[in-house]
A = this chain, B = another copy of it.
Amino acid sequence: MSVTISDIEAAAARLAGHAVETPLIESPALNERLGRRVLIKPETLQRVGAFKFRGAYNRLSQLSADERTRGVVAFSSGNHAQGVALAARLLGMPALIVMPSDAPAVKAEATRGYGAEIRFYDRMTESREAIAAGLAAERGAVIVPAFDDPDVIAGQGTAGLELVRQAKARGAELSAVLTPIGGGGLIAGVSTAVKALSPSTQVFGVEPAGYDDTLQSLRAGERIGVKPAFRTLCDALESPAPGVITFPIVQKNVSDIAAVDDAEVAQAVRYAFSVLKLVVEPGGSVGLAALLAGKFASLPEGPVGLVLSGGNVDPDLFAALLRGET
* Chain A residues engaging chain B, CB cutoff 8 angstroms: 20, 23-29, 42, 44-45, 47, 49, 106, 270, 273-280, 311, 315-316, 318-320, 322-323
A106–B44 Cα distance when bound, in Å, is 24
Q: Which applies to chain A's interface (DSSP): helix, strand, loop or mixed?
A: helix
Chain B residues with CB under 8 A of A20: 26-28
* Least CB separation from A170: chain B residue: B21
Q: Please indicate the chain B residues that have their CB under 8 angstroms from the CB of A277 in the complex.
A: 42, 44-45, 49, 278-280, 311
The 5 closest A-B pairs by CB, nearest first: A277-B311, A319-B319, A23-B23, A315-B322, A44-B277
Q: Is the CB of B311 within 8 A of A318?
A: no
- Expressed in whole angstroms, the Cα–Cα distance for A162 and B23 within the complex equals 15
Q: Which residues of B contact A25 (CB under 8 A)?
A: 23, 45
> Is the beta-carbon distance between B23 and A273 smaller than 8 angstroms?
no
Of the candidates B45, B106, B276, B323, which one forms a contact with A27 in the assembled complex, judged by CB atoms under 8 Å apart? B45
Most buried by B among A28, A44, A47, A273: A28
Separation of A274 and B310 alpha carbons in the complex (Å): 12
Q: Are B49 and A315 in contact (CB under 8 A)?
A: no
A18 to B229, CA, bound (A): 49
Contact B28 A47 (CB under 8 A): yes
8 A–B pairs (Cβ distance < 8 Å), ordered by A: A23-B24, A42-B277, A49-B277, A270-B315, A274-B315, A277-B279, A279-B279, A319-B323
CA of A28 to CA of B22 in the docked complex: distance in angstroms? 12
Given contacts A45-B27, A319-B319, A323-B316, contact A106 B274 (CB under 8 A): yes
Give the docked Cα–Cα distance between A323 and B320 (Å).
Answer: 10
> In whole angstroms, what is the CA distance A320 to B280 when docked?
18
